[in-house]
Amino acid sequence: MTLIFCSTFKLSLSPDPNFFAYTQKSYWQTSRESAPFRESNYQPEVFLTFPYKKENSSLKAYKVSLLHESNGQDGEKSRSWNRLYLESFFQFSNLFVIPRVWYRIPEQERNDDNKDIQKYLGYGDLTLFYPYKKHTFELKLRNNLRLSEDNKGAVEFNWTFPLPSFLNLPNSFGYFQVFSGYADSLIDYDEDINKIGIGIAFSR
């Protein structure tokens, strides 16, 4: 059995509103002697967020973004794609509902590392986010909407919670994640993965 840990780094640049973000997910294959990285996924993006200020509206904002995603590898292990996406933010009391749809920017066939990636990731996802006291609960759902044996999807649940006081780590939280489905990482986007993760989140 191979044991893999995932660490996530996120960065947003201001002034307000933010217009650039960078996310990096690194997968540590700790069961190997040298504990090499199995893969790192890089996600820089540029975006515009538009507040929606109509009184008594559940819609709070929407976001338009250009997102690049790649793993920095070459040859058969190379993975990359570019997307335009539209994301909306709805609020119902303490529950936030965040639907997102995307369009993959076409590439020349000879340069396409993952021609069938939308077969596994589909064309969008839906996130439900619920803060409760010092806890946050997030459920992300994704499906390719193919009503056949080619139906693929994923479910991801994230919970952040306060760390014990004796740890005394400012702006840090415990982190618990459950994932089941496709495209947890680019290198295994076409593999059905089930995983449970724990760790520390330095932002949320």
> Which pLDDT belongs to residue 2?
42
> Which pLDDT belongs to residue 167?
72
Positions annotated as catalytic residues are 68, 70
> Which pLDDT belongs to residue 22?
87
DSSP for 116-176 reads THHHHHTTEEEEEEEEETTEEEEEEEEE----STT--EEEEEEEEEEPPGGG--TT-EEEE
Instruction: Report the pLDDT averaged over residues 41-47.
Output: 92
> Which pLDDT belongs to residue 14?
45
Measured in Å, how far apart are the chain's first and last C-alpha atoms?
Answer: 31
> Which pLDDT belongs to residue 63?
94
pLDDT digit string (tens) for 102-152? 999 998 887 788 889 999 999 999 999 999 999 999 999 999 999 888 999
Q: Which CATH class is domain 41-201?
A: mainly beta
CB 155 within 8 A of CB 139: yes
pLDDT digit string (tens) for 76-105? 788 899 999 999 999 999 999 999 999 999
Rounded-to-integer distance, Cα 40 and Cα 175, Å = 20
